[in-house]
């Protein structure tokens, strides 16, 4: 039992709100605001679903999209990016293989950029995709998943407008 | 102190009146958003829903569309389809509801833009389907056009959007 004359606060209270409740409240507020700003505007948490990015990313994996990745420079070939649909609740996770103005084609399962074969060490499942050259617009990037074992028609891929690219995947 | 109390009371009363006003006279955006939510719930049914209930849902679904409405589907992995008019939409819904085990429809990231004359609305959203068969239907971006007909907001056109061209 605690002595009524003891100026020290009860240990349970110390555990719950600290020795200085006002300072604790300020710390909590700062933490909440920091988390909100970080996870709303800087790092967007995502859960991977689907097989199109296998074996690089698997269903159920948790990751973050860095929304500030392209503040200083434009997206690069090989970047894994998230492409928004109507909003950011559901996004495509794809790899950029074609840059603005470039022509992308598939022959014998290999990607060709402006007629030159693209070295893609991240593609582990080979395929026999055949597709005529597609030219990216001045503000478009060609995105595709790493899993090329799927039929071409069932694999969501194509030209994404720059404003649809939300950011680069963190890990 | 009395003045402060009165001012606070006045502000609270004004806030309450404003809230009541928005409930009684919702903005066109809110009405269209509610329509979309209602459309999703009408298209959703459980595995234990009877054939009659499914048929009723398919019938109710057409109430959201104008008589000359069009649904244009052009999604990856699907053949292109265009459904015109309430009858064709009802028949397609009936056939679909009868073959599916269950259906859960979700509209995500819904944004509404009302025209200046407040007679038409453009809605963008992402639709997510779950038919309870472990099949991945993915997500599809959709665009809806609403028109105010006889005081009711009805869909005149619904079409898939190609996120990647």
Average pLDDT of the segment spanning A7-28: 83
pLDDT > 80? residue B79? no
Surface of A (15-74) touching B: CB under 8 A: 49-50
Nearest chain A residue to B108 by CA distance is A89
pLDDT at A9: 77
* Residue A70 burial class via C-beta count within 10 angstroms: exposed 0-12, middle 13-18, buried 19 and up: middle
Distance CA A123, CA B91 (A): 44
Structure tokens at A24: 């604790």
pLDDT > 70? residue A20? yes
Q: What is the pLDDT of residues B89-140, one digit of tens each?
A: 999 999 988 888 889 999 999 999 999 999 999 999 999 988 877 777 778 9
Select from A50, A86, A161 the residue whose CB has the most chain B CBs within 10 Å, as the one to mutate to test that interface. A86
pLDDT at B78: 67
pLDDT at A6: 65
pLDDT at B130: 87
Cβ atoms A81, A94 nearer than 8 A: yes
HEC letters along A102-148: CEEEEECCEEEECCEECCCCCCCCCCCCCEEEEECCCCEEEEECCCC
- Residues with Cβ within 8 Å of A7's Cβ and at least 6 positions away in sequence, in order, are none
Q: What is the mean pLDDT of chain B?
A: 91
Q: Is A153 an interface residue toward B (CB < 8 Å)?
A: yes
Structure tokens at B2: 């009395």
The H or E element that residue A21 is part of is: helix A21-37
Distance CA A132, CA B79 (A): 20
Distance CA B111, CA B55 (A): 30
pLDDT confidence tier of residue A2, bands split at 50, 70 and 90: low
The residue among B138 and B154 whose pLDDT is bigger is B154
Distance CA A66, CA A166 (A): 8
Enumerate the β-bridge partners of residue A134.
A104
pLDDT confidence tier of residue A15, bands split at 50, 70 and 90: confident
> If interface means Cβ-Cβ distance under 8 Å, which residues of chain B face chain A?
76-77, 108-111, 124-126, 128, 136, 138-142, 161-165
pLDDT > 70? residue B60? yes
Cβ of A85 within 8 Å of Cβ of B162? The answer is no
Structure tokens at A141: 């990037």
Lowest mean pLDDT of A7-21, A48-62, A79-93, A150-164, name the range. Answer: A7-21
pLDDT at A48: 94
Of A49, A92, A154, the CB nearest to B163: A92
Distance CA A8, CA A2 (A): 9
Lowest mean pLDDT of A52-66, B54-68, B73-87, name the range. Answer: B73-87
Lowest mean pLDDT of A95-99, A112-116, B131-135, name the range. Answer: B131-135
The predicted complex's ipTM stands at 0.78
Cβ of B163 within 8 Å of Cβ of A50? The answer is no
Average pLDDT of the segment spanning A85-93: 93
Contacts of B142 in chain A (CB under 8 A): 86
Q: Which domains does chain B have, with CATH numbers?
A: 27-160 (3.10.450.50)
pLDDT at B27: 92
Scan for tokens 């009395």, then name that residue.
Answer: B2
Distance CA A15, CA B16 (A): 40
Average pLDDT of the segment spanning A72-76: 94
Length of chain A: 171
Provide, for chain A, the percentages of residues in helix, strand and coil under a 3-state DSSP scheme, each rounded to the nearest 5: 20, 30, 50
* Residue B116 burial class via C-beta count within 10 angstroms: exposed 0-12, middle 13-18, buried 19 and up: exposed
Distance CA A66, CA A38 (A): 10
pTM: 0.82
Q: What is the mean pLDDT of chain A?
A: 91
Q: What is the pLDDT of residues A29-46, one digit of tens each?
A: 999 999 999 998 999 999
Average pLDDT of the segment spanning A2-24: 77
Distance CA B14, CA B105 (A): 38
Question: For a pLDDT cut of 90, what percent of chain B falls above it?
Answer: 67
pLDDT > 60? residue A3? no
Distance CA A165, CA A159 (A): 11
pLDDT at A152: 86
Give the distance from residue B54's alpha carbon to the nearest chain A alpha carbon, in angstroms: 28
Q: Is A141 an interface residue toward B (CB < 8 Å)?
A: no
Distance CA B128, CA B119 (A): 28
Residues of A noted as catalytic: 52, 94
Give the distance from residue A7's alpha carbon to the nearest chain B alpha carbon, in angstroms: 35
Structure tokens at A168: 């680069």
pLDDT at B139: 87
pLDDT at B142: 94
Q: What is the pLDDT of residues B12-50, one digit of tens each?
A: 999 999 999 988 888 999 999 999 999 999 999 998 888
Surface of A (83-102) touching B: CB under 8 A: 83-90, 92
Residue A118's nearest CA partner among A146, A138, A94 is A146
């Amino acid at each position: 039992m605690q002595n009524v004359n003891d100026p020290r606060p009860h240990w349970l209270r110390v555990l719950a709100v600290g020795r200085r409740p006002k300072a604790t409240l300020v710390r909590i507020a700062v933490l909440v605001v920091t988390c909100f700003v970080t996870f709303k505007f800087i790092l967007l948490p995502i859960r991977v679903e689907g097989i199109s990015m296998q074996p690089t990313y698997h269903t159920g994996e948790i990751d973050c999209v860095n929304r500030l990745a392209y503040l200083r420079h434009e997206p690069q070939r090989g970047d894994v990016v998230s492409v928004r649909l109507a909003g950011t609740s559901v996004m495509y996770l794809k790899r950029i293989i074609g840059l603005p103005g470039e022509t992308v084609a598939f022959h014998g399962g290999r990607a060709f950029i402006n007629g030159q074969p693209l070295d893609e060490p991240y593609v582990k499942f080979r395929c026999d995709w055949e597709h005529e050259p597609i030219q990216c617009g001045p503000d478009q990037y060609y995105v595709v998943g790493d899993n090329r074992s799927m039929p071409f028609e069932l694999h969501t891929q194509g030209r994404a407008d720059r404003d649809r690219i939300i950011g680069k995947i963190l890990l | 102190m009395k003045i402060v109390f009165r001012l606070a009371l006045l502000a609270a009363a004004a806030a309450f009146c404003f809230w009541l006003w928005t409930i009684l006279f919702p903005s066109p955006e809110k009405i269209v958003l509610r329509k979309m939510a209602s459309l999703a719930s009408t298209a959703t049914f459980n595995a234990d829903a009877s054939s009659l209930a499914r048929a009723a849902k398919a019938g109710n679904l057409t109430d959201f569309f104008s008589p000359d409405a069009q649904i244009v589907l052009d999604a990856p992995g699907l053949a292109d389809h265009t459904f015109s008019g309430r009858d064709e939409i009802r028949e397609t819904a009936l056939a679909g509801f009868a073959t599916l085990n269950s259906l859960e429809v979700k509209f995500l990231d819904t944004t509404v833009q009302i025209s200046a004359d407040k007679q038409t609305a453009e809605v963008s959203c992402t639709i997510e389907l779950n038919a309870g068969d472990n099949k991945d239907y993915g997500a599809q971006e959709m665009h809806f056009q609403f028109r105010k007909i006889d005081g009711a907001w009805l869909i005149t056109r619904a079409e898939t959007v190609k996120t990647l061209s």
